[in-house]
Each structure stands twice: as structure tokens, then as C-alpha cells.
Amino acid sequence: MRAVDPTNGELIREYPEHDEDEIALRLERADAAFRAWSLRPVSERAALLRSLAGVLRADLASHAELMTAEMGKPILQAEAEVAKCATTCDWFADHAAAMLEPEFAATEATASFVRFDPLGVVLAVMPWNFPFWQVIRCAVPALAAGNTVALKHASNVPGCALALEDLFRKAGFPGGAFTTLLIPARGVGGLIAHPAVRAISLTGSESAGRQVAALAGASLKKTVLELGGSDAFVVLADADIEHAARQATLARTLNNGQSCIAAKRFIVEEPVAARFEAAFIAGMAALRVGDPRDRAMQIGPLARMDLVDELEDQVRRTLAAGAALRLGGRRQEGPGCFFPPTVITGVEPGMAAFDEETFGPLAPVTRARDAGHALELANRSRYGLGASLWTADVERGRALAARFEAGAVFVNETVKSDPRVPFGGVKGSGYGRELAAFGLREFVNVKTVWVG
């Protein structure tokens, strides 16, 4: 596996893939570790999660630098990602015991209750765009519940994958509780079929989700799929337009625009659309693009050159369909995978930038006749991960939130993941939930115990 710096295209390091014998050994160790780990009191598991939080914070700078090198994340955002991972470890350490407490039911039995028992080895198939956070938000609740975790990370971040394994070791987790498998994507099918693997969590593309779901279904194994998104950012006529435009800029460009929950379709009521577009374009144009190691830069490179090719093609097809280019639109000249902030207006359903997921700092703006039309446009997507709604009438916002076809709706706030609330989508964005109690209980046996 090759780690390549997307800032300049230079090879960072090559890593040997694990062969079949090494993979089998690691899965056997994970299965053996589960037998003991699952019997340890939740308090002991929680203590190790707190230790993991401490290890993450102790080496925060080096972890951030590794992410920035391998996939181009701006360094300030990389540091924030590591800090968020540590906070999440602490949160589950504080709350896992309560969330795993048996729940009693009133029946004619002497006692009847539900236990939440772990399943076994959870295979985590994770992406490159948040190389620490995506893994932590999957692995930490699974481990807290008593499972063990085998990580198959994206092939372009092998250094991050091995660093994560080392973090769990340094934190004191038993051998095999968290293991990394360095294999290409074509090897995932064999992992799913392996008898040691009892469940699979995937964060990835819609096509990857279909393949994993089919393979897991053939083996009758539980899956959680967190797939793509094309989140709507809906601005009603009574919103604070300048504030909404500032937040739109942040929502579209976080992580260089490479986020499943980034705002990707900007739907604005007609009476305020021109004002929003002007403020939005100005905000996007002011962003500084350059070396992600430079703390003054807000936009770094895309992670790979094929992503630049795809984004440029989506812009081309959208403009050919009749939309108007207002900013950016083509790759930056010179070395690296840089694509500047881009705004396209006059975007309608049927155009590439509206119908497809865009992974980069490309912002299509669509005008709506009224709030009802805006909601209709927001739901006119095969995806359903998140949505945000901007309005001065909070009660109206709460009412409209019920009508969005999405796993999360944020009113007057950008969409984000937080350990305190569940995260996941509907429709083409997948199924199942991560984080909070709902995420913790995805990989457990919800077991009824009835005492006569």
C-alpha cells in the first residue's frame, strides 16, 4: 500500500499488505480476545477508554500531521479531529455502563428483562476522509459494549491505520481487542465471510454499501451502513441571510469539501436568493487555498487525483445542462490535487451537481418558489443523510424538520456528528446508527431473559 502526499504527489511510504496467513492470525486473535474482553466489567472497559483519550491527547500533534500528510486535511481541522476522538472516548467511558444496564419489563414472570450482550468481532470498513474520527466513532462504542474490532481502513491512509492500532496498544487494550488489517478493497469479501467476524460496519460509497450488504446478507451477518450524502442546506426568506451564507461556506468546505454530511445542495427561497448568492460567492472566494500544513490555509488538496477528475467532470456536465458558473470551476494549475472553491447557480434537478454526490468544494445553488417547494427539492434526492434549515421562526423550523427525509435535521446549525446523539441516514445514505445509545446497541444481542 502506498501513502502519497496529495499536496505534491510525492510518495510518503510504502507498506506491505498482510498476506492470508497474517489476516487469519489477526482475526483468530481478535476472536480469542473477545472471549475474555466480553466478560470484563464495563467499568474496566471504560477505564481503558479514558486511557485511550489520554493517549490521543498526548500525541495530538503527530496524529494530526499524519492525517494531513496522507489525505490533505488542513492541519487545524486535523488537530480538531483528534481532539473530538478523545472527547468521544471520554463520553462513552462515562455513559456506557448506564446504556448497557438491563431493562426490566413488567410481566407475570418472577423477573423478565432485556440484556445487551456483545456479538463478537466487528469488522470496521472505514474511509479516508476522516481517518481517525470515522474509526473511533465506530470502534469505541463497539468495544465499550464488549466486542472486539478488526479495522480494514482505506488503502490511501495505511499510516493512519497502523497508528490507530498502536494507540489502542499504548492505551492498554489487550492484544487482539483492536487490530488493523492491511488489505485492498477486493479482500473485504473474504473478511465478511470469515467465521470470526460477526458483524460489519461500513462507512463508504453507496456502491460499496450495496456490495457489503449483499455479502453480509449471504452470511446472515448484521451490518451498519453509513453511506454517501447530498445534504440540503435550505434557506427560507425570513432567515438571517448574511449569517446563513457564512455558515454555508463553512458547511461546504470543511475537510476540503470531502465529507458525507457536508452541505451539498443549497436551496434558497426566490425573494432572498440573489442576496444569498452574492454573500455566499464572496465568502467562498475569500477562502485561502494552499499547503494544508500552513495554519493560515482553509482549503487543502483533494485526497487523490481521480477525485479532482470526477469533480471537474461534474462541473462540466452541470454547466452543459444550463447552469451558470459564478466562481472557480476547474482544477488549480501546478502540482497537487487542488480544486478551488466553486459556486454554480441556476442548478436544477436532473443536473449532475444536484442529482449526484459531489466530494469537494463545489456548491450548487437552486432557487425555490416558497418553503414548500424548497422542502420538495430537498427531498428530491436518492440520499437522506442530513439536512439543515435556516429560518427566523424556530417553531416553524421544528415543524418542518419532521418533513425532511433525512437521518438528521439541524435548524439554524450546520449538520455534524456528536457522540451524544445518533448518526446515520435513510434511503441511499444507508441504515443503522452510530454514536449515542442507539449506536452502542447496534452491535449487541438484545437478549430477553424470562425467569419463571
* Marked catalytic residue, from 226, 277, 356, 357: 226
* Marked catalytic residue, from 260, 337, 356, 442: 260
Residues of the chain with CATH 3.40.605.10: 2-227+429-451
User: Distance between CA 80 and CA 186 in Å, rounded?
Assistant: 32
Nearest to 250 by CA among 416, 60, 139, 54: 416
Q: What pLDDT score does 129 carry?
A: 98
Between CA 377 and CA 253, with CA 271 as vertex, the angle to 5 degrees is 60
User: Distance between CA 372 and CA 118 in Å, rounded?
Assistant: 45
User: Distance between CA 112 and CA 426 in Å, rounded?
Assistant: 33
Residues of the chain with CATH 3.40.309.10: 231-418
Q: What pLDDT score does 146 carry?
A: 98
Distances (CA, A) of 172 to 141, 168, 319: 17, 7, 54
pLDDT along the chain (452 residues), means of 10: 97 98 98 98 98 98 98 98 98 98 97 98 98 98 98 98 98 98 97 98 97 98 97 98 98 98 98 98 98 98 98 98 98 96 98 98 98 98 98 98 98 98 98 98 98 96
Hey, what CATH class is 231-418 in? alpha beta
Q: What pLDDT score does 141 carry?
A: 98
Locate cell 495530538: which residue?
A: 60
CA 303 to chain CA centroid, nearest Å = 15
Q: What pLDDT score does 434 carry?
A: 98
Q: What pLDDT score does 211 carry?
A: 97
226 is catalytic: yes
User: Distance between CA 44 and CA 24 in Å, rounded?
Assistant: 28
Q: What pLDDT score does 5 carry?
A: 98
User: Is pTM, for the whole model, over 0.75?
Assistant: yes
Q: Are strands 2-4 and 408-411 parallel, antiparallel or unpaired?
A: unpaired
395 is catalytic: no
Superfamily of domain 2-227+429-451, CATH level 4: Aldehyde Dehydrogenase; Chain A, domain 1 (3.40.605.10)
